[in-house]
């Protein structure tokens, strides 16, 4: 492995872009965001919603980054060379680490998008009327009212904050699952329920962990197979 293999884009390709696009957390985030934007557009409260809600979105996204970092610290603290080697041989370890990186990136994008969305209404707040923007498309002028722009920006902000929340929720599940399998590995390694003696380092105990439910892609799940 070289440095280029550790870059975000390289890890993203290895993890699977299609896997992310069809993930449950992304679909739920999009559906809920569309529902929220529909309600806001119906009542015509996009500008007021941005001013009131975007600061809360920023706080939530920052909290999600903190949770992801804490989860990564837990993973690092309970890992040992033998257990990591098993995960690497099963081609799982890199995917586990990438989920933390990806979740943090999503939360960071959420913070940036919410800052931009929050600032724009304040810039035009003293104009008294909603500014109108004209864009040319196929030799035709299309008028974009600021309400439409605000709704678009608020949709992006809402989507990313929900996506970061759902991603971190699944990340917590991954961390818990990692701890459970780590405990199972330790207990089977050092305690033989049918024998009071400890097995040696050359014990024939073997654990193989394989990912399951790859088509659903709602989270990294694992299956343990033990062979005597």
Contact 207, 187 (CB under 8 A): no
Residue 66's contacts (CB-CB under 8 Å, 6 or more residues apart) are: none
DSSP states of 124-155 as a string?
Answer: TGGGSS--EEEEEETTEEEEEEHHHHHHHHHH
Range with the poorest average pLDDT among 32-36, 73-77, 78-82: 78-82
Q: How far is CA 101 from the centre of its chain?
A: 8
Range with the poorest average pLDDT among 47-51, 188-192, 212-216: 212-216
Q: Mean of the pLDDT values across residues 100-120?
A: 92
Specify the pLDDT at position 33.
95
Q: How far apart are CA 102 and CA 104, in angstroms?
A: 5
β-strand pairing of 206-212 with 140-145: unpaired
Q: Is the pLDDT of residue 113 over 80?
A: yes
Residue 211's contacts (CB-CB under 8 Å, 6 or more residues apart) are: 90, 92, 95, 220, 221, 222, 223
- Residue scoring higher pLDDT (110 or 88): 110
pLDDT tens for residues 2-21?
Answer: 787 888 888 888 898 888 99
Q: Is the pLDDT of residue 160 over 90?
A: yes
Q: Is the pLDDT of residue 63 over 50?
A: yes
pTM: 0.73
pLDDT tens for residues 164-179?
Answer: 999 999 999 989 988 8
How many residues does this entry show for the chain? 228
First to last CA, the chain: 33
pLDDT band at 189 (very low <50, low <70, confident <90, very high): low
pLDDT band at 125 (very low <50, low <70, confident <90, very high): low
Burial of 201 per CB tally in 10 Å (0-12, 13-18, 19+): exposed
Sign, CA torsion 196/197/201/202: negative
């Amino acid at each position: 492995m070289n440095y280029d293999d550790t870059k975000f884009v390289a890890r993203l390709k290895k993890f699977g872009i299609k896997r992310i696009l069809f993930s449950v957390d992304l679909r739920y985030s999009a559906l809920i965001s569309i529902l929220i934007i529909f309600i806001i557009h119906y009542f015509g409260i996009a500008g007021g919603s941005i001013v009131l809600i975007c600061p809360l979105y920023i706080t939530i996204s920052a909290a999600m980054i903190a949770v992801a970092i804490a989860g990564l610290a837990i993973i690092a603290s309970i890992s040992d060379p033998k257990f990591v080697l098993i995960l690497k041989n099963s081609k799982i370890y890199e995917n586990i680490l990438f989920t933390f990186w990806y979740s943090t990136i999503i939360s960071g994008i959420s913070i940036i998008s919410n800052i931009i969305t929050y600032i724009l209404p304040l810039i035009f707040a003293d104009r008294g009327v909603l500014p109108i923007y004209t864009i040319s498309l196929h030799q035709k002028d299309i008028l974009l009212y600021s309400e439409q722009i605000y709704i678009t920006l608020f949709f992006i902000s809402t989507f990313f904050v929900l996506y970061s929340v759902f991603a971190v929720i699944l990340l917590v599940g991954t961390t818990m699952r990692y701890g459970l399998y780590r405990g199972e590995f330790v207990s089977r390694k050092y305690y033989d329920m049918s024998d009071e003696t400890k097995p040696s380092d050359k014990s024939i105990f073997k654990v193989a962990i394989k990912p399951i439910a790859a088509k659903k892609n709602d989270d990294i799940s694992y299956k343990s197979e033990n062979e005597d």
